[in-house]
Amino acid sequence: MGLGTVGWSILVMGISLATVIILWVWIGHIGPTYSSNTLIHQQKILRQHFGLSPQPVITDPKLLLTPPSLRDVKNNTANMTTASAGANSIGGKNVSIVPGASTLADKAFSPNPINVKIGGNVTWTNKDNVAHTVTSGTGPSDPNKGKEFDSGLSTLLAPGKTFSHTFKTAGEIPYFCQIHPTMVGKVAVS
Ligand SMILES: [Cu+2]
């Protein structure tokens, strides 16, 4: 009883308060990003361990607003429909407009060149994140541009969209993108 007990009580309270302050200063300053940073670090180690390429860093703000599980749905479903369409028709070929295509010249389309039988069709899928066109011809100044096929400047081939064309005559048909004319490809019909 008396001052001794009160003294001890104050001491215990003081130590508790000090502990709380120390813990707050020690852990509190790490902040809310601590757990997500740990997660990223763990993923990096795991990817290295299993020989996977490092996680791509996403900076596109539109993509960051989309949950990861929904990010590739458009492209994936486009692949599914073109894959089944290709399987059902004789000589159906698929060409991708690859990510970053606008600076890739003749690597913008894959595979390039593409071989197709007479009567066969080619389906282009835009796997890039900007719109393109697939337009027959050697470039914007070709007087015959778009004669054989053209996905169109008014109906741009948006990301995830597809465009198909059936080839009826043999020959080598160059094509390009009207928005980025350095993107070039070739269809060989035989
Ligand atoms: Cu383009």
- 154: tokens are 């008014």
Please give the Cα distance from 168 to 181 (Å, whole number): 25
Ranges of each domain in the chain: 3-55, 72-189
**How remote is the CA of residue 51 from the centroid of ligand 1, in Å?**
33
* 114 three-class SS: strand
| Average model confidence (pLDDT) across the chain | 85
Tens digits of residue pLDDT in 17-40:
999 999 888 776 666 677 778 888
Decide if domain 72-189 falls under CATH 2.60.120.10.
no
Q: Hunting for tokens 């778009």 — which residue is that?
A: 146
**How remote is the CA of residue 108 from the centroid of ligand 1, in Å?**
8
**How remote is the CA of residue 146 from the centroid of ligand 1, in Å?**
15
125's CB contacts (< 8 A; 6+ apart) are 75, 78, 79, 82, 94, 95, 96, 97, 160, 161, 162
pTM of the predicted model as reported, rounded to 2 decimal places: 0.54
**How remote is the CA of residue 44 from the centroid of ligand 1, in Å?**
33
Please give the Cα distance from 50 to 111 (Å, whole number): 29
